[in-house]
Amino acid sequence: MKKQLSIQYEETTIEDLADQNLKDLIVETIAFAQNAYAPYSNFKVSAGLRLTDGTILKGTNVENASYPVSICAERTLLAHAVSNYPALKITDVVVYVDKDLPTPVPPCGLCRQTLSEVEQRQQSPIRIIMVAKNGDILSVESTVDLLPWSFNASYLA
């Protein structure tokens, strides 16, 4: 029997956003891309999140001359949030790439797995908003739509 998994995502633009809180998070995240340490790839990525108390946190990719040591913006940010704000939940994560590309950039596989772990731990969905330099936005309401059929803690029980 053949089966299928499908995902849901939304397409919009910064201009068309009605949610002012989300707009603010996006504006802050875009500005933060200048902090990216990406001398090897020149691919500057920033990520921003909002916690349940309204706190905004941001992070960037941080590269290394030993290339595999580099860390993505999303995981820089999530490690900071999880370790410093263990009692709070994450509601939104914005990902921005400071490069003229035709579409927003989705998180890499390692970052999807990390987002998935955080969402399962906090037991409430994290909206992920991918923003392009031209203002185009793709978003999903949960990490499940970025990483369906994920490996997770339930298999370790």
Residue 63 is among the residues annotated as catalytic for this protein: no
- When the beta carbons of 43 and 151 are compared against ligand THU, the nearer one is 43
- When the beta carbons of 4 and 66 are compared against ligand THU, the nearer one is 66
What is d(CA 4, CA 6) in angstroms, rounded to the nearest whole number?
A: 7
Residue 45 CB, shortest distance to ligand THU, in Å, is: 3
Torsion, Cα of 83, 84, 87, 92 (10° steps): -90
- 95 DSSP β-pair partners: 47, 130
- Kindly name the residue from 74, 117, 119, 141 that is annotated as catalytic: 74
Contact 95, 45 (CB under 8 A): yes
Residue 66 CB, shortest distance to ligand THU, in Å, is: 13
- When the beta carbons of 59 and 142 are compared against ligand THU, the nearer one is 59
Computed on alpha carbons and rounded to an integer, the radius of gyration of the chain in Å comes to 15
Question: By the criterion CB under 6 A, which residues form the site for ligand THU?
Answer: 38, 41, 43, 45, 61, 63, 70, 72-74, 107-108, 111
**Residue numbers annotated as active site:** 74
